[in-house]
Amino acid sequence: MSKANKDAQRRQKLADRHRRQKALEKRHEFPRFTYEPNDADPAFVELVREAATTIDFRDAMAFHPAEAAFYKRVKEVGGWKARAEFAAAIAGRRGRGGAAGLSRPQPGPNGAQPYLRS
């Protein structure tokens, strides 16, 4: 085998390793879903598990960038601490006109109000 072929194979192997590493990082970028099926119908539990595998927090059509950043932070520091940090950040912005880039949820069909928890 020539030196050029060995170099090309080495570059390809490194590129493949880099691609696998990036995919692994993305897979662990956000928190895992956990399930407590309790007495639920096993078919329903499986349906929920399958649906959860399709959720991509990086999808800008489904999640606001602030939501994606929040979920990344949950993965990094845990849910309670991330929520406290988020609440403190929002409280600090209230005096400046609210959270930058975030709008209040709009009423749903038939004027139904979204559930907001403070």
Residue 66: what residue type? Answer: A
The pLDDT tens digits for 64-111 are 988 889 988 998 999 899 999 989 988 887 655 544 445 555 555 555
Confirm whether 21 is domain-assigned. yes
Confirm whether 15 is domain-assigned. yes
Count structural domains, the chain.
1
Residue 71: what residue type? Answer: Y
Dig out the tokens for 32 from the structure. Answer: 């895992």
Rg (CA), the chain: 21
Is-contact 49 58, C-beta < 8 A?
no
Dig out the tokens for 84 from the structure. Answer: 């406290």
Is-contact 84 73, C-beta < 8 A?
no
Confirm whether 26 is domain-assigned. yes
Domain range for residue 14?
Answer: 1-30
Confirm whether 87 is domain-assigned. no
Confirm whether 10 is domain-assigned. yes
pTM over 0.85: no
